[in-house]
Structure 1
Amino acid sequence: MSDFLGIEFNWVSHLEKIISAIGGFIGIWLVIAISYSFVGHDAPLIVASMGASAVLVFAVPHGSLSQPWPLVGGHVISALIGITCFKLVPNAFLAAALAVSLAIAAMYYLRCLHPPGAATALTAVMGGNGIELLGYQFVITPVLLNAAVLLFVAIIVNYFFSWRRYPINFMRPQPTSPSSLPTQLDLSYQDLEYALKQIDSFIDITEYELAKIYALATQHAMKMSLQSSHTIKLGCYYSNGQYGNHWSIRQVIAESSANDQKKAMITYKIIIGQRRRQIESCTQEEFANWAQYEVYQDENSWRIYK
């Protein structure tokens, strides 16, 4: 039932939760004061979208949707689109729907996807007389000013806690030499859970998604290794890494050299998959593009060679 409802069990400490709440309090208190000074009684509509932003920048400070460009760019671009739709489209329902859809597309293409930005676009269309009188000034005051205040407060509040400094660039370690990194490790879900606990900050990804990312990255690295080093070896078995009926394993049974590496030929036997037991040929380059990784048979199962 918890999986169906999407209830995620995160391992964020009580201190982390309290810091997020305090940051949200400071940020929104300032946003309310600014908004009321510019649009008066229509301010609650503006504050609503900024409240959603506060959840992101204070509770998920390292999320991609929480970073400075999505925060500021998402709100400003969405506000600009919302005001434009309000002025050009007479029908309020159509203008509101168009504003939100265009804001989503614009944030995607400008790489500043920020969900609360869509609420800002909607507010620009249906926000009332106070926002209507401001016109395009609404983009600068209070939207840009509010986003800047949230950004400033997020930087200050998170700075005092080394594990959650904001923006994420302040947290990135120095590049590590690839030779010093462990390769081809078998990680369990327990290993990934442990790693997430040690970070002690809400991360919008589950251990299952993280395991899938690791598996795909490992698979890609092994494929690139095959393609770059031309390590297709005579007598060895290779798989295409597909699933179900598309899964296939081939054994290299003969090879011919050529001056041009792309023209070197390989003869292989299909061990598992469509056209099983048939013998076929292709160039070494074509085989490397097909192969995802080398495999070997262990008792009654096939395993990735590491």
Structure 2
Amino acid sequence: MRWREGLTECRQMLGIENNTTSHTEKIISGLGGLTGILAVYWITYTAFANAEAGTTAFVLMVTSMGASAVLLFAVPHGALSQPWAVFGGHIISAFIGVSCHLLIDNTPLAGAIAVGAAIAAMHYLRCIHPPGGATALAAVIGGSDVYAAGYHFLVMPVLVNVLAILATAILFNSLFPHRRYPAHLTRRQRKTVPVEPQTRQFDLTQEDFAAAMTKLDSYMDINSEALVELLELAKQQAEQRSTHPGQIVTGHYYSNGKLGSLWAVRRASAASEHGMSNSSNIHWKTVAGTGLGEEGVYSLEIFQAWARYPVVLQNGHWVRSDDQDADT
């Protein structure tokens, strides 16, 4: 239906992705964030034992750590969440923020330069961490308590907060084998079933992915190692199934098995349902992927050659169908 196609296009324009995370995982992430912020409060309060707990500096840094908590406990395996990104992102940004405040009299200009310089520095030092931008800005607009601290602001409270939330992330995520933090611990313990290379028509390599990511020339919150591992698992899954359906069942959905902009899902229906007399033809309509909304007629043989396997819609994602009638 056209309204569904319009809704899909709107969702894609807004960047609303389907979330396949289980309810348990979502709850664990929330509990992790709660635990992390409590740890930051407690450790910072202890470190500020001789100061009023409600100082401007204290409040600002807890706010900054709240952003880090989202990354550390909701996406602990993301590139933006790893220890160097968190540590370097906050400390380097704090240094830049304090320096901009001391060197530039105009506060709005100092804040803007601090954030811009922090982004560039995090890029070059390989520690991009979005909350670092908030830390740089806090050093400029934080008020008298922050200004009085000077470069000591990097140690108290920034360093104290960073170490507290990193320690909590390591301990909390260690309770769940699939969430080990840093991400390297999870990759090291995961075992995959090897597939003989000779059974494949081609094999993408680590170097291929590194080259492709270079051509994109845009930072992505996933490294080439994790991307290769994800594709390897997907390829192993693909190799366990047949390449083309032996029979096309009208009313079912089929994928062409491609990736990216070449991928498409089409619904097959009998040509006779659309006023066409040739029963050996298949009327199709693209319901997902490239050419969304397009429709046409293929001979049965051509549609079989196009279709890689039957699919069904589950939790907002198209997955291979377990319906054996469609595969036979």
TM-score by length of 1: 0.58
- For 1:41, give the aligned amino acid: T
CA distance, structure 1, for counterparts of residue 81 and residue 54 of structure 2: 28
The answer as to whether partners of 2:77 and 2:179 remain within 8 angstroms in 1 is: yes
Give RMSD over aligned pairs: 3.4
Q: CA offsets per residue over residues 78-136 of structure 1, 9 Å max, x none?
A: 00110011001111011101100110011000000000000000000000111111111
2:142 pairs with 127, 139, 148, which one? 127
Q: CA offsets per residue over residues 233-289 of structure 1, 9 Å max, x none?
A: xxxxxxxxxx9xxxxxxxxxxxxxxxxxxxxxxxxxxxxxxxxxxxxxxxxxxxxxx
CA distance, structure 2, for counterparts of residue 204 and residue 113 of structure 1: 9
The answer as to whether partners of 1:40 and 1:130 remain within 8 angstroms in 2 is: no
Aligned partner of residue 90 in structure 1, secondary structure:
coil
Report the Cα offset of residue 170 of structure 1.
0.5
- For 1:141, give the aligned amino acid: M
The percent of aligned pairs where both chains have the same amino acid is 52
Report the Cα offset of residue 33 of structure 1.
3.7
Report the Cα offset of residue 35 of structure 1.
4.3
- Of 152-161 and 44-53, more deviation after overlay is shown by 44-53
Aligned to 1:148: 163
Q: Does 1:112 align with 2:127?
A: yes
CA distance, structure 2, for counterparts of residue 120 and residue 166 of structure 1: 23
Q: Does 1:49 align with 2:64?
A: yes
| Inter-CA distance 27–10: structure 2 relative to 1 (3 Å threshold) | same
CA distance, structure 2, for counterparts of residue 167 and residue 3 of structure 1: 31
1:84 pairs with 99, 103, 113, which one? 99
Aligned to 2:178: 163
CA distance, structure 2, for counterparts of residue 178 and residue 13 of structure 1: 27
CA distance, structure 1, for counterparts of residue 179 and residue 100 of structure 2: 38
The answer as to whether partners of 2:80 and 2:221 remain within 8 angstroms in 1 is: no
Aligned to 1:20: 29
Report the Cα offset of residue 184 of structure 1.
4.2
Report the Cα offset of residue 17 of structure 1.
1.0
CA distance, structure 2, for counterparts of residue 115 and residue 72 of structure 1: 12
Q: CA offsets per residue over residues 153-192 of structure 1, 9 Å max, x none?
A: 0011100111111100111137989874564479xxxxxx
| Inter-CA distance 176–23: structure 2 relative to 1 (3 Å threshold) | closer
Aligned to 1:2: 11
- For 2:135, give the aligned amino acid: T
CA distance, structure 1, for counterparts of residue 192 and residue 200 of structure 2: 13
CA distance, structure 2, for counterparts of residue 34 and residue 84 of structure 1: 26
1:278-297 → structure 2 map (5 Å cutoff): none
CA distance, structure 1, for counterparts of residue 116 and residue 130 of structure 2: 12
The answer as to whether partners of 1:79 and 1:121 remain within 8 angstroms in 2 is: yes
The answer as to whether partners of 2:61 and 2:161 remain within 8 angstroms in 1 is: no
Report the Cα offset of residue 41 of structure 1.
2.4
- Of 26-35 and 97-106, more deviation after overlay is shown by 26-35
| Inter-CA distance 78–18: structure 2 relative to 1 (3 Å threshold) | same
Report the Cα offset of residue 19 of structure 1.
1.1
TM-score by length of 2: 0.54
